[in-house]
Amino acid sequence: MIRKFLLTLGLAAACTTLTAQAETVFVTLEKDNAIAVVDPIAGKLLKTVNVGQRPRGISLSVDGKLLYVATSDDNTIRIIDTTALKEVGQLPSDKDPETFALSPDGKKLYVSNEDDNLVTVIDVAAKKAVKQIKVGVEPEGVAVSPDNQWVASASETTNMVHWINTQTLEIVDNTLVDPRPRALTFSPDSQQLWVTSEIAGTLTVLDVKTRKILKTIKLTVQGVTAEKIQPVGIVIDKNRHFGYVAMGTANRVAVINAQTLAVEKYLLVGQRVWNLAFSPDQKRLYTTNGISNDISIIDADNQKVSKSVAVGRYPWGVVAKP
């Protein structure tokens, strides 16, 4: 009986280890023209795979089998098999794709074309651009609401968020935000849109229904000058308990209570933290630290940075695959 119990326990432990080990983190390395493959549990860089010129935005397909990587200087989005780590196709992103967003059903991909002031809509299955939407000057961040109703695009120079209806693919409304909006993300319940403004050092929370500003949060770190606070990437957990904002050259991730919209603490990570991604179980958070050439792993339960792992030059985007 005891033996049986121990055996079950052992098997369970083995399974847990296996599942835990199965997680893989992919990081685009802007300067190495490659993606880094990291085992986040062991905290080790497994390998680096060349993908194309200046890879930045990265996303995982809905089934987790494919990676979409924006190779900006090649003017294309490459499709990479996550197991074989080989290119299996390309998507016509038009010029200089930096960031893009995949619709929740995985059917459409929205790309920001910074130089042409466009958002290119791509039919993923057909691998064809279906529309180009004129937006403000220098569009950067782009996000699709989890309920697939809205695409939000932020223009860095126009300082605006453009609300695009996913059915008509037309701009319905615009909201003026703080200077140089860089990244945006919808809350998992599609009720809010969070936007970071790089120059202002703020996070603006918008109400999706009214498309008006709910709150603007000024991010400050004691001892860090205001110009170093350059918020970029944002993630919000699935229960909307906490949101995390990468603060660029302040080398911090702000932990924000997503209910009260108050900053709870700042976590010290590597230099010029750019983007963030959750582990599939949302127990960990990965940050790309552009200047220190590493990623930091944050234990989301304890809200503590557990490790930083060197990955390669200029880590930019990050995704985690189960």
Partner 1 sequence: MSLLHFLRAMWGIVGRELWRFIQQKERFISALVRPLIWLFVFAAGFRNTLGMAIAPPYETYILYEVYITPGLIGMIQLFNGMQSSLTMVYDREMGSMRILLVSPLPRWFLLICKLIAGTAVSILQAYVFLGIAWFYEIQAPIQGYFWILPALILDGLMLGALGLLLSSFIRQLENFAGVMNFVIFPLFFMSTALYPLWKIQESSALLYKLAMYNPFSQGVELIRFALYGQFNQDAFIYTLAAFITFIIAAIIGYTPSKGMMTRKGGE
Site for partner 1, rule CB under 8 A: 43, 221-224, 228, 250-251, 268-271, 292, 296-297, 304-308
Q: What residues contact 269, with CB distance under 8 A and at least 6 apart?
A: 251, 252, 253, 287, 289, 296, 298, 305, 308
Residue among 195, 38, 17, 276 nearest 305 (CA): 276
Q: Which DSSP string corresponds to 240-287? A: SSEEEEE-BTT-EEEEEETTTTEEEEEEE-SSSEEEEEE-TTSSEEEE
E strands, 51-95, are 55-60, 66-71, 76-81, 87-91
The span from the CA of 311 to the CA of 38, in Å, is 8
Compute the least distance from the CB of residue 44 to partner 1, in Å.
12
> How far does CA 107 lie from the centroid of its chain?
19
Q: Which two tokens stand for residue 16?
A: 């847990």
Compute the least distance from the CB of residue 198 to partner 1, in Å.
18
Task: Give whichever of 76 and 296 is closer to partner 1, judged by the CB atom.
Answer: 296
Compute the least distance from the CB of residue 289 to partner 1, in Å.
9
Task: Give whichever of 270 and 315 is closer to partner 1, judged by the CB atom.
Answer: 270
Task: Give whichever of 270 and 312 is closer to partner 1, judged by the CB atom.
Answer: 270
Task: Give whichever of 90 and 303 is closer to partner 1, judged by the CB atom.
Answer: 303
Residue among 98, 165, 103, 92 nearest 129 (CA): 92
Compute the least distance from the CB of residue 16 to partner 1, in Å.
20
Compute the least distance from the CB of residue 252 to partner 1, in Å.
9
Q: What is the CA radius of gyration of the chain?
A: 19
Task: Give whichever of 152 and 298 is closer to partner 1, judged by the CB atom.
Answer: 298
Task: Give whichever of 50 and 306 is closer to partner 1, judged by the CB atom.
Answer: 306
φ and ψ at 224, to 5 degrees? -110, 130
Compute the least distance from the CB of residue 296 to partner 1, in Å.
6
The span from the CA of 141 to the CA of 130, in Å, is 20
Q: What residues contact 306, with CB distance under 8 A and at least 6 apart?
A: 297, 298, 299
Residue among 191, 189, 153 nearest 169 (CA): 153
Task: Give whichever of 206 and 254 is closer to partner 1, judged by the CB atom.
Answer: 254
Compute the least distance from the CB of residue 286 to partner 1, in Å.
12
